[in-house]
């Protein structure tokens, strides 16, 4: 197993890509900390992991709240003594074209998708620096490199995630910490279920592989990047998108 006994924090792991990643990491031997806004969702994921004999705990944390994130890190250190992997997966959308976007839509998406990633990484990197090892993986998006109609806020946040990924790779490499991002294309999750059917069909047609992605496709990318197989990979943005932007 590629992640045997690694302690992995996965934010937004109550459903969608985060929940699939939690299952993948547990199947690779990791001890998983399932972080989510909703207590019942994180407990649901943890119950599934434990049913399969894995070690996992649920934590109800809002990644935008720094005191909650700092408390989370303290609790994990008390419970497990270390943090090997962080997956900054929690993310939201609040779409509107520029001329209609409210300040609240802008602030909400920037707070979760950008500041949340900063909060969790800063707290975890302090621990990883002491350990002289660690892996940070961020959820980017094809929208973070190409933009998307109606997603000013989301594009800004994901572009920022790409920038932070490269910056942290430069700053933290000397402490044995690798930092990478995964940029999914269109993946079938509760987030994309909100999109009109014809848009999803269009995306499917546009991709050379003629399909939408599954949460497991993304989970596989995270598992590879977290493992020692990726020991010489840092500062990269791994596209997992069926080739939709070629």
Give the active site residues. 154
Count interface residues toward ligand NAP (CB under 6 A).
29
* Window 117-146: contact mask with ligand NAP (x via CB under 6 A): ----------------------x-x-----
By CB under 6 A, is residue 184 in contact with ligand NAP? yes
By CB under 6 A, is residue 36 in contact with ligand NAP? yes
CB atoms within 10 A of CB 78: 8
By CB under 6 A, is residue 221 in contact with ligand NAP? no
Instruction: Find all residues with CB under 8 Å of 147, minimum gap 6, and list them.
Output: 155
Rounded least distance, CB 85 to ligand NAP, Å: 16
Rounded least distance, CB 226 to ligand NAP, Å: 16
Nearest to 114 by CA among 151, 67, 64: 64
Nearer CB in complex with ligand NAP: 174/194: 194
By CB under 6 A, is residue 112 in contact with ligand NAP? yes
By CB under 6 A, is residue 242 in contact with ligand NAP? no
Spatial distance between the Cα atoms of 93 and 175, rounded to a whole number of angstroms? 34
Rounded least distance, CB 81 to ligand NAP, Å: 24
* Among 9-17, 23-31, 127-135, 230-238, the segment contacting ligand NAP (CB under 6 A): 9-17
Spatial distance between the Cα atoms of 130 and 68, rounded to a whole number of angstroms? 21
By CB under 6 A, is residue 245 in contact with ligand NAP? no
* Among 127-135, 180-188, 201-209, 230-238, the segment contacting ligand NAP (CB under 6 A): 180-188
User: Residues 159-166: contacts with CB within 8 Å, 24+ apart?
Assistant: 160/114, 161/88, 161/113, 161/114, 161/117, 162/237, 164/114, 164/117, 164/118, 164/121, 164/138, 165/138, 165/140, 165/235, 165/237, 166/235
CB atoms within 10 A of CB 149: 11
By CB under 6 A, is residue 45 in contact with ligand NAP? no
Spatial distance between the Cα atoms of 82 and 184, rounded to a whole number of angstroms? 29
- Name the DSSP letter for residue 112: I
* Residue ranges that bind ligand NAP, judged by CB under 6 A: 11-12, 14-18, 36-38, 41, 62-64, 89-92, 112, 116, 139, 141, 184, 186-187, 189-192
């Amino acid at each position: 197993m590629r992640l045997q006994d690694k302690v992995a924090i996965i934010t937004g792991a109550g459903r969608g890509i985060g929940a699939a990643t939690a299952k993948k990491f547990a199947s690779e031997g990791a001890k998983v900390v399932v972080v989510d806004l909703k207590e019942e969702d994180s407990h649901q994921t943890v119950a599934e992991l434990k049913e399969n004999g894995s070690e996992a705990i649920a934590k109800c944390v809002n990644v935008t709240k720094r005191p909650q994130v700092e408390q989370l890190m303290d609790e994990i250190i008390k419970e497990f003594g270390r943090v090997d992997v962080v997956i900054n997966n929690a993310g939201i959308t609040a779409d509107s074209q520029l001329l209609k976007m409210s300040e609240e839509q802008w602030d909400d998406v920037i707070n979760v998708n950008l500041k949340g990633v900063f909060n969790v990484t800063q707290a975890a990197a302090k621990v990883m620096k002491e350990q002289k090892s660690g892996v940070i993986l961020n959820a980017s998006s094809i929208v973070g490199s190409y933009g998307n109609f109606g997603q000013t806020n989301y594009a800004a946040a994901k572009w920022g995630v790409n920038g932070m990924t490269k910056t942290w790779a430069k700053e933290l490499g000397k402490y044995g910490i690798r930092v990478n991002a995964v940029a999914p294309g269109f993946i079938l999750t509760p987030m994309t279920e909100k999109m009109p059917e014809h848009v999803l069909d269009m995306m499917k047609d546009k991709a050379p592989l003629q399909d939408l992605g599954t949460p497991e496709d993304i989970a596989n990318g995270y598992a590879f990047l977290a493992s020692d197989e990726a020991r010489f990979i840092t500062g990269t943005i791994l596209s997992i998108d069926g080739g939709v932007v070629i």
